[in-house]
Amino acid sequence: MEIVRFDLKLALGHSPNSVQGTLEGLRECPGNSFLIGTELMLYQHRQILLPELRMYLLLAASRSYALYKMKGIITLPLELCPFSTKMINNNGLVKVRNNKVFFKFEEETKRQQDK
């Protein structure tokens, strides 16, 4: 399972206006944020809308990499989320359950790895 570390401001400021270009550009903008499942995202990039991806990246950047490394936590507590629950649930890439934001591609990647 590949972990891509990125800097959100650099990634969004330097990314092209395409899903594939944005995902590929993340590797060129190393930082403290992280993503899991970028291979799956790239494979399915034609089914991803750019505004949804940008929200996904912003939410992913709000998580703690230290918590992920220590405890394997890949969700974001809802209280740290800069968007309303309604906005999040309108995004096909993220969902709110049990006061946590879940990331579609990270959940799918984790399920595949656990098989």
Task: Give the residue-averaged pLDDT of 9-22.
Answer: 83
Q: What's the pLDDT at 115?
A: 67
6, burial (CB in 10 Å: exposed 0-12, middle 13-18, buried 19+): buried
- pLDDT attached to residue 15: 64
The answer on pLDDT for 55 being more than 90 is yes
Share of the chain above pLDDT 90, in %: 63
pLDDT at 9 exceeding the cut of 70: yes
Q: CA 18 to CA 12: how far, in whole Å?
A: 11
Q: What is the pLDDT of residues 59-83, one digit of tens each?
A: 999 999 999 999 989 999 999 999 9
Full residue range of the structural domain in which residue 77 is found: 3-114
The domain tally of the chain equals 1
Looking at residue 59, what is its pLDDT? 96
Q: Which residue has the tokens 């991806």?
A: 53
Residue 87: pLDDT above 70? yes
Residue 56 burial (CB < 10 Å; 0-12/13-18/19+)?
buried
pLDDT at 63: 94
User: Residue 111: pLDDT above 80?
Assistant: no
Where are the alpha helices (H) located in 4-84, listed in sequence order?
8-14, 19-25, 38-43, 50-61, 65-71
